[in-house]
Structure 1
């Protein structure tokens, strides 16, 4: 029989196993509220998350803007002779647009979704 001692009561926490900051860290003051946020990758639609700037639970506000690919495609079309607005067609195609996410509360930039 191998008597190495009783098994541990619980597995180590993630912070203990990876070497995170323990709860008795000098960076945490007594009575200080700790807010832990998870970074959510922005998608093509509004994302439900906690804003890392104002710590409010929000659905991101989105706006679309032409991507670099749209501007390059428009430039190539202009060089090929499409002058009368046809060179702006790539700026209207949804798959050539970047989606910019921001906080509706504090207006902070939260991320950009590149469609291509």
Structure 2
């Protein structure tokens, strides 16, 4: 290789403007330079037809306020002892009457007693610390709730 030969072959000059317009691919080059919305495809599908509109809607439904009721319920924490509170049924301030009944702890304790001593199986039914407690109003017999051991 001589020092005078260029390393890269010389590129020919680009075509002139008139030559580029006469070129068969020139029209597609011009078409591609247009925005997509301006181009019209040759095999375009028919335009989409929208379904008929539904009758005008209000956007939301309103409910009559007279149908809605709001009840305020106060949560009463009941314990194993009698509680002083106001009865929602009769409106009197009272100490609750309590009654005992068997619950989950009673059954569990009876099962454990059965495995250790068959004679002591009924013993948890008589121990008040194993029984659930029901709270009632002494005047109108309204049931406030049940204190459950488990």
Q: Distance in 1 between matches of 2:138 and 2:121?
A: 33
Partner of 2:123: 89
Q: 2:91 corresponds to which residue?
A: 55
Q: Assess if the C-alpha contact under 8 Å between 2:110 and 2:123 holds in 1.
A: yes
1:37-89 deviation line (CA, Å, top 9, x unaligned) = 743211121111111122221111011222222123324544x38444x2111
Q: Any idea what SS the aligned residue of 1:99 has?
A: strand
Post-superposition Cα deviations, 1:8-27, rounded to whole Å, max 9, x if no partner, equal xxxxxxxxxxxxxxxxx969
Cα distance in structure 2, aligned partners of 1:75 and 1:41: 29
Q: Return the structure number with greater relative CO, CA threshold 8 A, min gap 6.
A: 1
* Secondary structure at 1:95 match in 2: helix
Deviation at 1:98, TM superposition (A): 0.9
Who wins on radius of gyration, i.e. which is larger? 2
Which has the larger share of strand? 1
Give the direction of change, closer, same or farther, for the CA distance of 1:105–1:37 in structure 2 (3 Å limit).
farther
> What is the TM-score of this pair, normalised by structure 2?
0.45
TM-score by length of 1: 0.56
Residue in 1 that maps onto 2:138: 104
37 and 68 in structure 1: CA distance in 2 versus 1, 3 angstrom threshold: closer
Give the paired residue count. 82
Structure 2 segments unaligned to the other structure (5+ residues): 1-64
Aligned to 1:68: 104
RMSD: 2.5
